[in-house]
Amino acid sequence: MPSLPMFILDRIGPLRNFRPLHRPGERGKLPLAWLISPTPAAIGFAVRTTAATLLALVIALWMELDDPQWAAMTVWIVAQGSRGESLSKARWRLVGTAIGVVMSITLISAFNQNAWLFFPILSIWVGTCCTMATLVRNFRSYALVLAGYTTAIIAIGAIPHPENVFMTAMSRASYIVLGIVCEGTLAGLFAHNLAETARRNMRDKLRTALSNVSTSVSSLLAGDEEALVRSRAMFGPLISINDQIEFSEVEMGPHGHEGDHARAALAAVSVLLSRGLGMAVRLQYVQTDQPAFRETAAHVSEFLTTVPNRLDSDESVQELLHDLQLLRAECHQRVVDALSQEIDTAFDDNPANDTDIPALLDGRILHNALDELLGELEQAIREYDASQHFIRGDHFHFRLQAHVDKREAIYNGVRAMVAITAAGLVWECTAWPAGLGFITFVAIVCGLFATRENPVVASSQFMIGGIWAAIVSFFLVFLVLPTQADYEMLVGTLALPMIAGGLAARNAGTALHSAAYTLLLPNFVHPLNQGRQNEVAWFNSTAAVLLGVFFAVLIFRAVLPFNNNAERWRMRRTMLHDLRTLASAEPMPETRDWIGRNIDRFARLIRHAGPTPSPTIEGCLQGTLAAMTIGLNIIRLRTLLKRNQIPPAAKRAIEIVMKRMSGFTGKYGHTAHAARVATSALRRMEAMEPNISTRIELTRAIAYLIVVSHELDANAVFLDASKPYRAV
């Protein structure tokens, strides 16, 4: 059987969470701009990785290893844009490889000479790995996929000589270690001040997030109608930053809990953005023509515009926090002034003054909302500041949850199982000499892309990259390499094609093509010490690889194909279930978990939206944001109830809303009606309540209920998950 790259799956692992390296419209407008005028960072990555690849290849040839191209492929698998990503991937690669080695030996030992016991068990194992990989993030997902397909590649490769399965597994592990060492050594030589650079990058990303959200909230307060649309687009980058923090932690080496504080800062920024959107709702439902509120809102808006320029140094951050506390004190004073004026009005017998009481209450609602908004900003800035320093004795931990689609995970496992079983059947029926290579690539590619959200598109691009690798390798194998007899000429021949592949890897539009190209090129060329790739062997092995990729694409199109509408429907139903859980679950769900799941949903919708989102996608984005805002206010209402500082009648009114929400289906508007009734009842109770602290609590409850009722009414069609959503 021709040598086969077990490592294709590895290069695609991080692409499951791939984000474009260039914003639309920058370099993508020029054809082949990534090759003709690459960025310095792309050139550095391509040259460094090519040098490491060729070094690994030469060492493998010098050691007279059987399949030296595997060491070269490992370098491309591990190499990532940042040092933290490369280190993290190398670490999880070793874990996945170790599991795969053990399982491959186990399967061959247990089912030797029993093909139709071996293939079904192998398919079940790989399908289980794909299912589990869908439920986790970053390179933990990659390690699980690798465990499945390392098993497939080693075990299938050992079928002709099962007695040598242990040596086959050990040889694959040797290639992996060699490739990781070469990539790590070369990358380490160019990684100056790695820890300091990682801290600076993390600081810059957090500062950008804080600055953008502060500016957006300022625009919302100023009445900018387009600010809402711009604000929604910020949730996707927040997830990307959250993923990158994990890699920055790896780059920092021994460190404290700076990454946890950074994730907490991102969560606070997300809540801040939600607070701003909730503030925009309240501005529509309460009386805002009040000089006191207009003045305070102007102060807050002006302050928010200064935030981006005041996050540069520790001194600026402390001054920023001081000014923020003064603003919060101003909001508190406005609330006290309004209460004092209401008390004076209550003792005044002039009936004309009674009309001022609702306006004063509305003013207190708005000032209280401003105070809470500034409180989230203060929390975000404090966590941002804590993420920049090592704090002795700090034991803080913070993680954001991700959206989990269990049905999608099961689909991924079923695809892999069907693919491997069908490929095994093809080999069994045809007795194709290159059939084992065909099965291996079906297993690799199908499992790789089974964990992606839209595997058909991704695997099709991968197939195109494989075709390019075959074309380039054809000229190398048939015209160039037969005339060469030393390592220097081999290195010079392969350098330019590999550098071009490295440049393509750093371009968003060609990343998947490059993943196939850079990995398959060494396999197709197959350099050897004792000779060169035989032409007949080249045709056989290349055809097996390309047909395996093509067969995998067919499987993706035929078996449980990806359906964007079905995924959105499942997501909506999950959100409704989560809303019901928020209202009744004990212990009460945490804000950060609710925020993390919904931001992840936002990011999925944005990834599927394309450059011009349809009205349905726009409606789903708005509905997801509304569900997140409703959930946050439900959590706040439950927290308020636990403080037990409101009258029993007010508590019962809110509990009715919670009961309605715990049975919420998105239909009939019963929950929204209950929230409006509770709002009216609490307004009356608040006007007659003599205790100041109780009145403040009632004011908060009214503010939360206003947002809940508005979002339920405004998004009634989206929140009705009994039928698919279509924007009108």
Chain segment 554-586, per-residue pLDDT in tens: 888 888 887 778 888 888 888 888 888 888 888
- CB-count exposure of residue 415 (10 Å: 0-12, 13-18, 19+): buried
State the Cα angle at 198 between 196 and 204, rounded to 5°. Answer: 105
Residue 431 vs residues 263, 320, 425, 551: alpha-carbon distances, Å: 54, 73, 10, 17
Q: Which is more confident, 273 or 470?
A: 470
pLDDT tens sequence across 42-99: 888 889 889 999 999 989 888 887 788 888 888 887 777 666 667 777 777 788 888 9
pLDDT band, very low/low/confident/very high, at 152 (cuts 50, 70, 90): confident
The yes-or-no verdict on residue 351 having pLDDT over 70 is no
266 neighbors 400 (Cβ within 8 angstroms)? yes
pLDDT of residue 354: 47
Least confident of 21-30, 68-77, 124-133, 181-190: 21-30
Give the pLDDT score at 233: 63
387-424 confidence digits (pLDDT tens): 877 777 777 887 777 888 888 889 888 988 999 999 99
Question: What's the pLDDT score for residue 391?
Answer: 77
pLDDT, mean over the chain: 81
Residue 83 and residue 191: Cα distance in Å, rounded? 7
CB-based contact 179:72 (threshold 8 Å): yes
Distances (CA, A) of 437 to 61, 97, 427, 644: 23, 19, 10, 68
Please count the other Cβ atoms lying within 10 Å of the Cβ belonging to residue 390.
13
543, with CB counted inside 10 A (0-12, 13-18, 19+), is middle
In this prediction, residue 647 carries a pLDDT of 92
| Residue type, position 456, single letter | V
Range among 253-262, 356-365, 592-601 rated most confident: 592-601
9 has a pLDDT exceeding 60: no
Which CA distances in Å does 21 have to 81, 369, 513, 601, 632?
10, 37, 15, 21, 32
Asked if 523 and 5 count as a contact pair (C-beta separation under 8 A), the reply is yes
Q: Which of 577, 579, 575 is nearest to 602 (CA)?
A: 575
Token reading at 119: 């293939």
Q: Is 493 within 8 Å of 480 (Cβ atoms)?
A: yes
**What percentage of residues in the chain have a pLDDT greater than 70?**
85
Residue 676: pLDDT band (50, 70, 90) is very high
Say which range, 96-110, 328-342, 579-593, 612-626, has the weakest mean pLDDT: 612-626
Give the pLDDT confidence score for residue 556 in this predicted structure: 83
pLDDT at 380: 87
Q: What is the pLDDT of residue 227?
A: 66
Q: Contact at 8 Å (CB) between 46 and 76?
A: no
The whole-number pLDDT of residue 472 equals: 93
Q: To the nearest 10°, report the CA torsion of 469, 472, 474, 476.
A: -120
Q: How far is CA 425 from CA 149, 156, 351, 431, 489, in A?
A: 18, 14, 89, 10, 43
Residues 258-295: tens digit of each pLDDT: 778 888 888 888 888 778 877 777 777 776 677 888 88
pLDDT of 307-328, one tens digit each? 888 887 767 888 888 889 999 9
pLDDT of residue 552: 86
User: How would residue 10 be classed by pLDDT, with cut points 50, 70 and 90?
Assistant: very low
**pLDDT number for residue 651:** 93
Q: Which of 278, 206, 286, 260 is nearest to 238 (CA)?
A: 206
Give 643-671 pLDDT, tens digit per residue. 999 999 999 999 999 999 988 887 778 89
**Nearest 5 degrees, angle CA 122-CA 124-CA 126?**
70
What secondary structure, in 3-state letters, does 358-415 show? Answer: HHHHHHHHHHHHHHHHHHHHHHHHHHHHHCCCCCCCCCCCCCCCCCCCHHHHHHHHHH
Cα 482 to Cα 3, 69, 530, distances in angstroms? 20, 17, 12
Residue owning tokens 């004092």:
340
Position with higher pLDDT, 19 vs 119: 119
- Are 238 and 625 within 8 A, CB to CB? no
Range of lowest pLDDT (281-285, 498-502, 610-614): 610-614
Are 624 and 574 in contact by the 8 Å Cβ rule? The answer is no
Q: Name the band, by pLDDT with cuts 50, 70 and 90, for residue 610.
A: low
pLDDT of residue 609: 66
Q: Which of 43-52, 100-109, 474-483, 603-612 has the lowest mean pLDDT?
A: 603-612
- Residue 679 has what pLDDT? 92
- With cut-offs at 50, 70 and 90, classify the pLDDT of residue 341: confident
Nearest to 137 by CA among 92, 84, 101: 92
The more confident residue out of 244 and 444 is 444
Question: Which of 601-615, 622-636, 637-651 is modeled with the greatest confidence?
Answer: 637-651
Q: What is the pLDDT of residue 8?
A: 33
Q: What is the DSSP letter of 20?
A: -
The amino acid that residue 640 corresponds to is L
